[in-house]
Chains A and B, each alone.
Chain A
Amino acid sequence: MTVIDACGLSCPEPVVLLRKAMFTQEDVYQIRVDNPVSRENVTRYAQHQGYHVAVEAAGETYTLTLTK
């Protein structure tokens, strides 16, 4: 599983990082973001790519687990 730390990065950077990571075509990815915009954008992009997204919030940090 590839883990991406995108905390502190503003959009569209988290989605760009995820898109690059997805070139490896794994079944599970985990990405951490710390703002609602990135959470929404990453979720939308992952769903477009056919992944199911589970979001776990801890304070201002969101851990998104993407599974095929």
Chain B
Amino acid sequence: MDRKKETCGMIASGLGIGLLAVALVCFGNPANMGFCIACFLRDTAGALGLHSAGAVQYLRPEISGLVLGSFILALLRKEVSPRGGSAPLTRFVLGIFVMIGCLMFLGCPFRMILRLAGGDLNALFGLGGCVCGILTGVFFLNRGYSLKRTYRLPPLEGLLMPIIQVLLLALLVLAPSLLRFTEPGGGPGGMHAATAVSLTAGLIVGALAQRTRLCMVGGIRDLALFRETKLLLGFAAIFAGALVYNLILNAVTGDLYFSLGFAGQPVAHTDGLWNFLGMLLAGFGCVLLGGCPLRQLVLAGEGNTDSAVTVLGLMAGAAFAHNFGLASSGDGPTANGKIAVLLGIAAVGAIACVNTFRKDNA
């Protein structure tokens, strides 16, 4: 009975998240980007001046909402638990490479689903790469990969990430002149829903993801590891929900919410090989980190400082990606980006090997 309730809850949450993602596009977010944790962290890094790519700078309230939604629900469920100390610097480095992979593809695993639901067939290459990356991670998990144990930490450690999010929101509302913003029409950073709408959507999705433990790579990972389908149902429900809502909006509004094909897709490029390799790197890194970027935000909201460090790594990765010309654009990947992705796959592979094939099992 519990199992049935859990399954229904996961499907309902996935459909709700799919609806919110499409609604955010209606309210102003870039197409197929109702949610994209990689893109939103990249935009936020830009707003804070960590990179100077003028087209992608905006402090995305969805990020704060996701962390705070998770924090509030975890508080109500008595699941806030300040923890950390499990290879934080390794997680930071993995976060950097996951972001570089995501910005090669132009989206995190969450946006990959939303791109597919918008008819962007380039995301099929991303999905293929993501599955291969996840299976590579599972290979190492099955052989004992571990970043070792976390430890209980003082309460302030666990509260800092939610506090930082409140401060960022205060900056956005009270002192926006301190931040950098893309001008309207100047790129994806200039397209966004109103602050209250974005924050509310983030809060709801953060709470739903905390409750259901939703993870965009966990679904395929758990299916491969244990034949467990719970998380995969959430993944599928988001896709199904967003697809149906996109098709309905297409019919009702006449705007292009769903457009099947490869060419001309919003904030995407058509280089299949690098879409594949970018998401292979992202999927592989996410399995080693224990979850996708969305899951890292949710865990950070619950007081997990290892995930908070990972989020900082993702933001640093976004800054590197734009400062060193690694990020793709609609025109395609860059030469620097290709080199960085190959180096990333090698580095993440080395981290996996070092943390799998070692003698101490303490």
Contact = CB atoms under 8 A, between A and B. Distances in A.
Interface of A: 7-13, 15-16, 19, 35-37, 40-41, 44-45, 48, 60
11 contacts: A8-B83, A8-B150, A12-B222, A12-B225, A35-B81, A41-B228, A44-B3, A44-B230, A48-B227, A48-B228, A60-B81
Nearest to A19: B226
B5 interface: no
Given A35-B81, A45-B228, A60-B81, A12 B86 contact: no
B146 A45 contact: no
Size band of the interface chain B makes with A: 20 to 34
Interface string B200-243: 00000000000001000010011001111010000000000000
Contacts of B221: 12
Contacts of A60: 81, 152
Contact of A11 (B79, B83, B290): B290
Nearest to B147: A10
A13 B146 contact: yes
A8 B227 CA distance: 24
Contacts of B222: 12
B225 A10 contact: no
Contacts of A8: 83, 86, 148-151
B253 interface: no
Nearest to B306: A10
A16 B81 contact: no
Contacts of B81: 35, 60
Nearest to B290: A10
Nearest to A12: B225
Given A12-B221, A12-B226, A37-B213, 20 more contacts: A7-B149, A9-B149, A9-B150, A10-B86, A10-B306, A12-B218, A12-B222, A15-B226, A16-B141, A19-B226, A35-B81, A36-B79, A41-B228, A44-B228, A45-B226, A45-B228, A48-B226, A48-B227, A48-B228, A60-B81
